[in-house]
Structure formats: C-alpha cells, structure tokens
Amino acid sequence: MSNQSLYRYLDSSQKIQLDPEGYLVKQDQWSDEIAQLLAEDEGLALTEKHWEIIHLVRDFYSQYEMAPAMRPLVKATKQALGDEKGNSIYLMTLFPGSPPKRIARIAGLPKPTNCL
C-alpha cells in the first residue's frame, strides 16, 4: 500500500499536498493565498489579528527552526505584541482548540514538537 493514500489535497488541481494531520507536505509551497485556503479548511476567516500571529510564528520558526508549543508561543506573542495579546485566552479566541497546532498548520509549518 502506498503512503500517497494517506495524503489529501488542499486544492482541486492536486498540487498542494497535506499530510494526514493537515500540515503542508512541502513547506516551500506556503504563501498568503495558501494560508487563506488552509484557514478555510480549518473553518477560520483570517483577520488582521490572525495574520499578526501567523507572521509572528513564521518569524519564530525562522529563528529557532521549530514551531512553538503553547508556552513559547505565549511568551513570543507577549514579547512582540504586549500583555493584552500575549496570553493563552487571546490565542484560543483567535485559534480555538489547540492554537499552536492550528497556527502552525495555517502558517505552513510542521507540527509543534510538544503538541499531542
């Protein structure tokens, strides 16, 4: 049995592969347009507040070569955007469920290592 059957596609042209958990297979395919499609797939409509967190997480990944789990995500958000936005309640309001996993998926990054 081929591993290909475990993947699904984000787009109708079948060029954007997602792994079984919904993360991009090829991170270099990420763009703002792909993020919009990924967010729609998650049932989210992205606002400017979402985008500032997505770009913050992408910057975090560029610096540390890993997607942040919840504690580092809250800390990085607090440092970059202040106390009002740097807390788990704010992040869960924007990205319900597991913010680190949802943000990483939409940001085109791998699953955070400490997330189940």
Per the prediction, the chain carries an average pLDDT of 91
The identity of residue 20, as a single letter, is P
Q: For the whole model, what pTM was predicted?
A: 0.88
In the annotation, is 5 catalytic? no
The identity of residue 66, as a single letter, is M
Residue 41 above 50 pLDDT? Answer: yes
Which helix (H) or strand (E) segment holds residue 17: the answer is: strand 17-18
Strand, coil or helix: what is 32? helix
Gap between the Cα atoms of 92 and 78, Å rounded: 14
Residue 74 above 70 pLDDT? Answer: yes
Alpha-carbon dihedral 26, 36, 20, 75, rounded to 10 degrees: 90
Which of 66, 80, 92, 115 is flagged as catalytic? 115
- Kindly state the tokens that stand for 22: 């919904």
